[in-house]
Amino acid sequence: MVDYLFTFQIHGDSIMSAVSTASANKKFHIAKFGGTSVANFKTMYKSADIVIANKNVRIVVLSASSGITNLLIKLTETCNDNRRKALLKQIRQHQYTIINCLDNPFSIQPIIDHLLARLTALSAVTTQQPLTAPHIDEIVSYGELMSSYLFVEILRQRGVIATWFDVRNIMQTNDKFGKAEPNQQQLKRLANKYLLPKLQENLIVTQGFIGQDEAGRTTTLGRGGSDYTAALIAEALSFDQVDIWTDVAGIYTTDPRIVASAKSISAITFNEAAEMAVFGAKILHSATLLPAIRAGIPVFVGSSQIPEKSGTYICASTKKLPQFRALTIRRKQTLLTLHSLNMLPARGFLAEVFTLLSQHHISVDLITTSEVSIALTLDTTGSTTTKRNLLTDTLMTELAKLCRVDVEEGLALVAIIGNNLSQIDGLGSHIFSALATHNIRMICYGASSHNICLLVSDKEAETIIQILHKNLFE
């Protein structure tokens, strides 16, 4: 574990006292703020307004400032020293733009300088050798570490008793770097030990997205993992609500940036929201709802920039379940088509292919089959891993021994989310007649009554969303 970790020392009797006090207290909320909500001093200040106004919020989970994680990933990919220094300069300038707006910038400057110095030292390795997965995750984690320190300082300078807490002290994960899986039992035990006793007197500010494995190495939970962090902690501490603050005022029938007439949704079920998250709705991380569903904790989604505007509540049930709920888009899709005449007479070909993919830690997303071929998609949008890392030379060589492999990129997945879609007469005609002039590379329908998935060219994806929204929602 890195040397600037902050760990609470708690005695057993104080834990029991805090537990009994917490159970008798009013509702506890955990608030997560996304990258756009902590992008600069102005947005951080507005997010602090939200926290200060809601006394039920006892834990705040932060993403990195908008754009910082992308810069950190670029930092792990470059081997050019001049490029590395330029990226570090951009990161430093962004932090100091916030620091310089503080009433007392010198109170936080040494901590940020220390983090930047460590980041500089870690990134120096890129000019000498390729980075390992643990090294990449540690570098990428610095966005959340810096934003959480800055946010604590903004709260403190506004008179709030706020405590910075390193989430890695409780978020124990496996060593699947880039998309690590948390140990829920360990999280519950450690959160109750280190966080719960502090909730009465302190507002806790911590990081999303990051954790650590048994060896003390920093891991990341996948892009958008801050939502997941908040939901996991809420489940571990039996909180009453998870508040997700982002740049959009709740959940819409599709991305308002693609369709200006997209309609806001006041309430949505866990199942519908989970489908939207899995198939690309950026407003929620795909795993966020799992802890909420397990614990029955409602999730609120709202805009940190216009918090007075109503958002969306995600809960177990709603008064009405419409046939069509939303449209989502997921970009950067890769399609693998595997051809082999051995599929026709033989058994076990699919098992052999999936065993090989599993050995290379590749999870298949969608799949269709014919007599002599398999088409399957890989999605890398939820991880710091890229397609380049997944389709290694070793994997491609091993696949080539079994079949001919075609790789297609530049694709996007459009999903129609709804309820009982398999029971709607004429649904296929209604959808595909509207898209008669567009090429659909792959269709997945039937495995779930909640979605229909279309794989299309990324260049046509937004147009297809606009057409479908007009036909299904307008």
Burial class for 146, CB neighbours closer than 10 Å (0-12, 13-18, 19+) = buried
Q: What is the pLDDT of residue 243?
A: 96
What is the architecture of the domain spanning 29-246? Answer: 3-Layer(aba) Sandwich (3.40)
Spell out the domain ranges in the chain.
29-246, 326-473
Q: Taking the CA of residue 200 as centre, how many other CA atoms within 13 Å lie in the half-sphere pointing to its CB?
A: 12
Contacts of 188 (CB under 8 A, 6+ apart): 235, 236
| Helix 81-99, helix 109-123: angle, nearest 10 | 170
Q: What is the pLDDT of residue 23?
A: 41
Q: What is the pLDDT of residue 2?
A: 38
By the 8 A CB rule, do 222 and 249 touch?
A: no
Q: What is the pLDDT of residue 389?
A: 64
Q: What is the pLDDT of residue 391?
A: 82
Q: Which helix (H) or strand (E) holds 146?
A: helix 142-156
d(CA 178, CA 175): 9
**Single-letter amino acid, residue 454:** L
Q: pTM score, two decimals?
A: 0.80
How would you write the pLDDT of the chain (474 residues) with one tens digit per residue? 333 333 333 333 333 333 333 443 458 999 999 999 999 999 999 999 999 999 999 999 999 999 999 999 999 988 889 999 999 999 999 999 999 999 999 999 999 999 999 999 999 988 788 889 999 999 999 999 999 999 999 999 999 999 999 999 999 999 999 999 999 999 999 999 999 999 988 999 999 999 999 999 999 998 778 999 999 999 999 999 999 999 888 999 999 999 999 999 999 999 898 888 888 777 777 688 889 999 999 999 999 999 988 899 999 888 889 999 999 999 889 999 999 887 766 677 888 888 998 888 888 888 888 888 889 998 655 444 545 567 888 989 999 988 999 999 999 999 999 998 888 888 888 888 899 999 999 998 877 888 899 999 999 999 999 999 999 998
What is the architecture of the domain spanning 326-473? Answer: 2-Layer Sandwich (3.30)
Q: What are phi and psi of 192, to 5 degrees?
A: -70, -30
Count the Cβ atoms, other than its own, within 10 Å of residue 417. 27
Pairing of strands 312-315, 299-303: antiparallel
SS3 164: strand
Q: What is the pLDDT of residue 5?
A: 36
d(CA 179, CA 181): 7
Q: What is the pLDDT of residue 380?
A: 59
| Helix 81-99, helix 142-156: angle, nearest 10 | 20
Q: What is the pLDDT of residue 379?
A: 62
